[in-house]
Structure 1
């Protein structure tokens, strides 16, 4: 901006947005100072570079406001995890399903993990898949299954997301 612009000629845009044509950098600075504003380089890659007459502090302030507004509007999707074992009782399983529904209500994804210890791994395809299918059935109205049950090492993993 202002004295840091090193190009001999620039394409000038006025404070009202009108094109003023290609002028020398010194002439552009004089016009900007005459209006009590700054000469700001908008596009350095163009030939000749594009400069605009504007209040630089106000421009920076508005840019900062736009980025803050964009941050407010963005939603962060977290991945929550619920762990259980093949021998988890019916009541505990229902309680965990209730928690999964709560997480889905908050628009979060949920990773459902069934951990197998020792010789329990033998039941991974029978009891494990049965329990996972039961959970998927209970969540049918509230969630979509992003990844069906899949073995990862000694655990069976399933991802669900909000509808």
Structure 2
């Protein structure tokens, strides 16, 4: 790079403040490629259109900038990250106790069936409180009951005071 750039960060979006001239690749707000231009020329184009220069990629030579509204770009990036988080979190958790009553068990089982139909992965925890850890056979019998009712086979593991296992939505017997 030929010039000195001082930039500040607004939630990972860098705005440009320039002291010297350098070459950059410029993309318009509509996606039109302006080509390699001087930074002062890019600033004049941005000021004529009342837009900001947004740094897209500074690892390339010359760096890539886009014309656009910085606050709108920041809003779109936050919205995109929320959408990515929403699609990644497709696991629901259900906690059971080893001495669960029959009606409560049937309610939890209906919830498991409805979540599987919606396509969620379901992590089930069987939680042992206090001295209940001595009676692990109750937890194993509850796992066998779930396996028989859902017609699946699960692999479980005991970690500290809880047994956990995962039920996938497309799992069949």
Q: Output the TM-score relative to the length of structure 1.
A: 0.64
1:49: Cα distance to partner?
0.4
State whether structure 2 residue 149 is matched by structure 1 residue 138.
yes
Matched, 1:78 2:92: yes
Superposed counterparts of 1:21-100, under 5 Å: 21-69=35-83, 75=89, 77-84=91-98, 92=101, 94-100=102-108
- Taking a change above 3 Å as real, the CA distance of residues 147 and 44 of structure 1, as seen in their structure-2 partners, is same
Give how far 1:160 is off. 5.1
Question: 5+ unaligned residues in a row in structure 2: which ranges?
Answer: 1-14
Select 1:161's aligned residue among 152, 164, 167. Answer: 167
**What SS does structure 1 have at the residue aligned with 2:25?**
strand
Q: Residue 145 and residue 110 in structure 1: after superposition, are their counterparts in 2 closer, same or farther (change >3 A)?
A: farther
Residue 65 of structure 2 aligns to a residue whose secondary structure is strand
Contact 1:5 1:41 in 2 (8 A): no
TM-score (norm 2): 0.61
What's the Cα RMSD here? 3.6
Provide, for residues 115-148 of structure 1, a one-character-per-residue CA deviation record: whole Å limited to 9, x for no partner.
Answer: 453xx67xx4xx87556434421232xxx44425
SS at match of 1:60: helix
Q: Are the counterparts in 2 of residues 103 and 110 from structure 1 also a CA contact under 8 Å? A: no
- For the 8 Å contact 1:97–1:135, the answer to whether it is kept is no
Gaps of 5+ in 1: none
| CA pair 46-160 structure 1, distance change in 2 beyond 3 A | closer
Bigger radius of gyration: 1
Name the counterpart of 2:30: 16
